[in-house]
Amino acid sequence: MNPWQPHRASIVNIHRELDLPSASVFTVELKLDPGPFADSYNFAPGQFNMLHVPGSGEIAISHCGPPPKDCSNALEQGSFLHTIRAVGRVTRALEKLQIGDSLGVRGPYGSPWPMNQLENQDVLLVSGGLGMAPLRPVIYSILSNRSRYGHVSLLYGSRTPESILYANELEAWATSGIGIETTVDRVGNELRWSGPIGPATLLLDRRSSKSAYPNFRPERTQVLICGPEVMMHFCALSALKLGIRASSIWISMERNMQCGVGYCGHCQWGPFFLCKDGPVLRYDLAEPYLNIKDL
Ligand SMILES: Cc1cc2nc3c(=O)[nH]c(=O)nc-3n(C[C@H](O)[C@H](O)[C@H](O)COP(=O)(O)OP(=O)(O)OC[C@H]3O[C@@H](n4cnc5c(N)ncnc54)[C@H](O)[C@@H]3O)c2cc1C
Ligand code: FES
User: Are 32 and 7 a contacting pair, CB within 8 Å?
Assistant: yes
Burial letters 36-49, b for 16+ CB under 10 A, else e: ebbeebebbbbbbb
Nearest CA-CA partner of 174 in 139, 202, 220: 139
List 223's β-bridge partners, or say none: 124, 249
The region of weakest confidence among 201-210, 257-266, 284-293 is 284-293
Q: Is 139 in the pocket of ligand 2 (CB under 6 A)?
A: no
Which residue out of 91, 132, 276 has the highest number of ligand 1 atoms within 8 Å of its CB and is therefore the one to mutate? 91
Q: Is 50 in the pocket of ligand 2 (CB under 6 A)?
A: no
Domain ranges of the chain: 7-109, 115-252
Confidence of residue 262 (pLDDT cuts 50, 70, 90): very high
Question: Rounded to the nearest 10 degrees, how much is the dihedral formed by the CA atoms of 263, 267, 270, 276?
Answer: -60
Architecture of the domain delimited by 7-109: Beta Barrel (2.40)
Question: What does DSSP say about strands 221-226 and 57-62: parallel, antiparallel, or unpaired?
Answer: unpaired
Q: How far apart are CA 239 and CA 223, in angstroms?
A: 8
Q: How far apart are CA 141 and CA 145, in angstroms?
A: 7
Q: Is 257 in the pocket of ligand 2 (CB under 6 A)?
A: yes
User: Are 294 and 255 a contacting pair, CB within 8 Å?
Assistant: yes
Task: Please identify, by atom number, the ligand 2 atom nearest to the C-alpha of residue 264.
Answer: 2
Backbone phi and psi for residue 271, each to the nearest 5 degrees, phi listed first: -80, 0
Nearest CA-CA partner of 86 in 179, 146, 22: 22
Q: How far apart are CA 274 and CA 286, in angstroms?
A: 11
**Residue at 58: amino acid letter:** E
Nearest CA-CA partner of 126 in 116, 117, 139, 115: 139
User: Are 281 and 250 a contacting pair, CB within 8 Å?
Assistant: yes
Nearest CA-CA partner of 227 in 195, 206, 250: 250
User: Are 64 and 131 a contacting pair, CB within 8 Å?
Assistant: no
Q: What is the pLDDT of residues 149-196, one digit of tens each?
A: 999 999 999 999 999 999 999 999 999 999 999 999 998 766 678 899
How large is the average pLDDT for residues 124-134? 96
Q: What is the pLDDT of residues 189-241, one digit of tens each?
A: 666 788 999 999 999 999 999 999 999 999 999 999 999 999 999 999 999 99
Q: Is 159 in the pocket of ligand 2 (CB under 6 A)?
A: no
Give the closest ligand to the alpha carbon of residue 228.
Answer: 1
Confidence at residue 169, expressed as pLDDT on a 0 to 100 scale: 93
User: Are 26 and 81 a contacting pair, CB within 8 Å?
Assistant: no
Per-residue pLDDT for 75 more than 80?
no
User: Over the Cα atoms of the chain, what is R_g?
Assistant: 19
User: Are 243 and 229 a contacting pair, CB within 8 Å?
Assistant: no
Architecture of the domain delimited by 115-252: 3-Layer(aba) Sandwich (3.40)
